[in-house]
Amino acid sequence: MQVEAHAKLNLTLDVLGRRPDGYHDLRMVMQSIELADLLDLSYTNTGELRVSTNLHFLPNNEKNLAAQAALRWYESAVVQNPGKWDTEDLKRSVNFDGLDVTIEKHIPVCAGLGGGSSDAAAVLRALNLMEDACLSPEAVASIGALVGSDVPYCVIGGTALAEGRGEILTPLPPLPRCWAVLCKPEFSISTPALFAKIDSVRLRCRPDTKGVIAALEAGDLAGVSRRMYNVFEDALPERQRTRVNDIKNTLIQCGALGASMSGTGPTAFGLFDSEDKAREAWERLREFGGEVFLAQTV
């Protein structure tokens, strides 16, 4: 089975506080875009779970979130919906003969675009279909929460509010279809390190999440775009913050309706209501280096 794993953008990202379990309570408006990895899942008789990608530096063992997703699936799917499984199914799913997952990466890695989480979500969605398990999207998302905080959203996709660790999801009215231009600068950011730093940073500004939701309800793309904000921008080291700001300024100069950073970065993006302006921004940013993408929202 072949499946696509879409990248996500954070239209807003707010950190509400640190929790006793060490994670942080978040409030974020998320949006899927067309930029996607391609996954191919096939049963084998090797007795092994094998993951391979076209990027040599990505793990092909359990450290890969796609492999973790498959393992959590075989542990959880049976438990979640016992009535649906007979003994043969159970034997087949627990002592499976082998599974190969091949991932063609297009989403940049460690970029704040949820690439690894989306691959994991795609594995879960595919296994739900391949095994004819008929778990609801919510049940699949709850298995995803065992793999990573962004995985439940990646199972559902579209436009959604994510709260708690990221696993409490409320679908929102879809963002009016538009073009996103993304630029991932040359450096990468460690998500745990930035989360650790945010506790000691005095946040200058918080996103207007309610305003973004009201704008979505009104179908007001410009209203959403000008309210986009991500508190992690304040936690970036000076040089990296300057680079992200330069990208955002270029996007705005080229006619973006708004610009922000996605996730824990470092990818910055802008939203456009005109394909011509988006293409111009894409060309301008390519002159400055980094990985630059033009994608429609999904």
Smallest distance from ligand C5P to CB 151, Å: 8
Task: Compare residues 18 and 279 and give the one whose CB is closer to ligand C5P.
Answer: 18
Smallest distance from ligand C5P to CB 58, Å: 16
CB atoms < 10 A from the CB of 191, how many? 17
Helices (H), 131-190: 137-144, 151-156
Q: What residue has token string 């436009």?
A: 159
Residues 6+ apart with CB under 8 A from 20: none
Q: Would residue 184 show up in a list of annotated catalytic residues for this protein?
A: no
Cis before 171? omega within 30:
no
Task: Compare residues 18 and 226 and give the one whose CB is closer to ligand C5P.
Answer: 18
- Measured between alpha carbons, how far is 229 from 127 in angstroms, rounded to an integer? 35
| Site residues, ligand C5P (CB under 6 A) | 23-24, 26, 148-150, 165-166, 191-192, 195
Q: Which two tokens stand for residue 34?
A: 């067309």
Task: Say if residues 224 and 212 touch (Cβ distance below 8 Å).
Answer: yes
Task: Compare residues 35 and 151 and give the one whose CB is closer to ligand C5P.
Answer: 151
Among the listed residues 287, 244, 28, the one whose alpha carbon sits nearest the alpha carbon of residue 154: 28
Among the listed residues 158, 161, 128, the one whose alpha carbon sits nearest the alpha carbon of residue 143: 128
Smallest distance from ligand C5P to CB 152, Å: 10
Question: Of these residues, 14, 37, 119, 150, which one is catalytic?
Answer: 150
Smallest distance from ligand C5P to CB 138, Å: 18
The amino acid sitting at 189 is I
HSE, CB side, 13 Å, CA atoms: give it for residue 44: 13
Smallest distance from ligand C5P to CB 15, Å: 8
Task: Compare residues 26 and 35 and give the one whose CB is closer to ligand C5P.
Answer: 26
Task: Compare residues 48 and 199 and give the one whose CB is closer to ligand C5P.
Answer: 199
Q: Which two tokens stand for residue 274?
A: 């005109």
- Measured between alpha carbons, how far is 286 from 240 in angstroms, rounded to an integer? 18
Q: Would residue 220 show up in a list of annotated catalytic residues for this protein?
A: no
Task: Compare residues 32 and 149 and give the one whose CB is closer to ligand C5P.
Answer: 149
Smallest distance from ligand C5P to CB 65, Å: 8
Beta strand 229-230 with 49-53: parallel, antiparallel or unpaired? unpaired
The catalytic residue positions are 8, 150
